[in-house]
Amino acid sequence: MSELSINTTQNVKINFIAASVGERLGAFFIDLFIVICYITVLSIVLFDWLQLDRLMVNLDGWSRGAIFLLLYSPVIVYSLVLESVFEGQSLGKKLLKIKVVKIDGYQAGFGDYLIRWFFRVIDFFTFFGLPGLITVITSQKSQRLGDMAAGTAVITLKNKININHTILEDIGESYVPTYPLVIKLSDNDMRIIKETFQKAAAKNDHEVIYKLAAKIESVTGIKNQSGNNSDFIRVILKDYNFYTQNM
DSSP codes, 140-184 = TT---HHHHHHTEEEEES-----GGGSS-----TT---S-GGGGG
Residues 6+ apart with CB under 8 A from 220: 179, 181, 182, 184, 185
Query: What would the pLDDT profile of 129-158 be if each residue is shown by its tens digit?
Result: 899 999 999 998 889 999 999 999 998 877
pLDDT band at 159 (very low <50, low <70, confident <90, very high): low
In this predicted structure, the answer to whether residue 91 has a pLDDT above a threshold of 80 is: yes
Average pLDDT score over residue span 78-85: 94
In this predicted structure, the answer to whether residue 6 has a pLDDT above a threshold of 90 is: no
**pTM across the whole model:** 0.63
In this predicted structure, the answer to whether residue 1 has a pLDDT above a threshold of 60 is: no
When mean pLDDT is compared across 117-131, 157-171, 176-190, 233-247, the lowest value belongs to: 157-171
What's residue 7's pLDDT?
A: 58
What's residue 164's pLDDT?
A: 42
The residue ranking higher by pLDDT, 132 or 188, is: 132
What's residue 74's pLDDT?
A: 93
What's residue 241's pLDDT?
A: 80
CA-CA distance, 23 to 164, in Å (whole number)?
26
Q: What is the mean pLDDT of the chain?
A: 84
In this predicted structure, the answer to whether residue 217 has a pLDDT above a threshold of 80 is: yes
Q: To the nearest whole percent, how much of the chain has pLDDT over 70? A: 86
CA-CA distance, 98 to 136, in Å (whole number)?
15
The residue ranking higher by pLDDT, 135 or 244, is: 135
Highest mean pLDDT among 157-166, 171-180, 220-229 belongs to 220-229
What's residue 161's pLDDT?
A: 40
Q: What length is written for the chain?
A: 247
pLDDT band at 125 (very low <50, low <70, confident <90, very high): confident
